[in-house]
Structure formats: C-alpha cells, structure tokens
C-alpha cells in the first residue's frame, strides 16, 4: 500500500526539479556580492612555481557552481603577480599548445577543474615573496563584474601536482 504512493511522490518531485532547472537559465544575475559569489566553491587551490625563476607560475583548482543562473568567469588576478591570464591547452598529445581561454560559463550544478594539462591560470612576473610553503590570493572576476577571491597554497615545481 505504501510503496505505490511513495513512488508517485518521487516522480512528482523529479518533475518539479526539472521544471525549476529549465526556468533557472533565464533568471537574472543577483546583486553584487562583495565577499565572493554565492554558490561558487573553490577547492584544491594551489600554485605551482616555475622550475626556472622568471617564468610564469600555473594556478590550479577545482570550481563548483550551484548558484542561481549562469555565471561566467572572465578573468583572474593573482596577488604577487603583475598579471594573470586564463589559459587552456589545445591540440593533441605531443603537440599541445596553451592559449588564452574563452570566458568559462558555468550553469547551476556544473563544475570544472583547472589542472595540469588543461585549464589553468597563468601568473606572470612573480614577486620573490611567493615561495613554496606560503600562500597567495587568487581573484576571479565574473562577466558581471563580481569578484571571488580564495587562497592557494604555493608549491615548488618539483612537488606532486
């Protein structure tokens, strides 16, 4: 007796969730959030120092988004670096090239990894104060102009990525 009722409720719930998702795509962006973006979560953040001083460093992290409406990451800044760019790798094995990445759009529920061999933030002209074992702040700027900052651990080139 209980089982069919329970199953029917589950089905009804699924239908509602799907409807809510498709409506969400057109929800306008919420007001600016000075202390970070609601629903944006960064984990596993780390900066890999270059093997040769003077070369750029790479910043990696995992990003998960579960806010309202689409969000788009347009640029990045790294404290202690003169400038930073969003990069991605393209091409095939043996002939990979990196280049500037198009702004990264995330829908609610989506996630992405910035990782060796793929997307990364490239940090140019580092101050000598960025040393292995320390940390620095990375700020992502969204297409909306909102910013989201987080700390990354600094690792030397030889450390496991």
Binding site for Cu ion (CB under 5 A): 87, 98, 122
- Rounded Cα distance between 17 and 121, Å, is 35
Q: Assign 109 to helix, strand or coil.
A: coil
Give the nearest distance from C-beta 97 to Cu ion in angstroms. 10
Shortest approach of Cu ion to residue 123 CB, angstroms?
9
Neighbours of 160 (CB within 10 A): 4
Q: What sign results for the dihedral spanned by CA atoms 140, 90, 116, 113? A: positive
CB of 88 to Cu ion, least distance (A): 8
Report helix, strand or coil for 35: coil
State how far the Cα of 114 lies from the Cα of 161, in Å rounded to an integer: 12
Residue 87 or residue 148: which is nearer to Cu ion going by CB? 87
Closer to Cu ion by CB, 37 or 130: give it.
Answer: 130
- Residue at shortest CB range from Cu ion: 87
Task: Pick the closer one to Cu ion by CB: 79 or 98.
Answer: 98
In the complex with Cu ion, the residue whose CB is nearer, 13 or 117, is 117
Q: Enumerate residues 6+ apart whose C-beta is below 8 A from 83.
A: 77, 123, 124, 125
Q: Considering beta carbons, is residue 76 or 122 the nearer one to Cu ion?
A: 122
Spatial separation of the C-alpha atoms in residues 24 and 16, rounded to whole Å: 12
Give the separation between CA 15 and CA 140, rounded to whole angstroms.
35
Distance in angstroms (rounded) separating the CA atoms of residues 117 and 98? 9
The CB-of-43 to Cu ion minimum distance in angstroms stands at: 21
Q: Give the nearest distance from C-beta 100 to Cu ion in angstroms.
A: 9
């Amino acid at each position: 007796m209980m089982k069919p009722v329970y199953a029917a409720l589950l089905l009804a719930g699924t239908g509602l969730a799907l409807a809510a998702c498709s409506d969400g795509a057109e929800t306008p962006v919420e007001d600016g959030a000075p202390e970070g973006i609601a629903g944006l979560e960064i984990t596993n953040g780390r900066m890999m120092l270059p093997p040769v001083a003077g070369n750029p460093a790479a910043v990696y992290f995992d990003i998960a988004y579960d806010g309202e409406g689409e969000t788009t990451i347009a640029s990045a800044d790294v404290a202690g670096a003169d400038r930073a760019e969003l990069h991605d790798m393209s091409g095939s094995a043996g002939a990979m090239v990196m280049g500037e990445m198009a702004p990264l759009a995330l829908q609610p529920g989506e996630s992405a990894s910035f990782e060796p061999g793929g997307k990364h933030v490239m940090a140019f002209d580092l101050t000598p104060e960025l040393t292995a074992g320390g940390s620095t702040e990375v700020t992502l700027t969204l297409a909306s102009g909102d910013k989201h900052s987080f700390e990354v651990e600094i690792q030397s080139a030889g450390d496991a990525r």
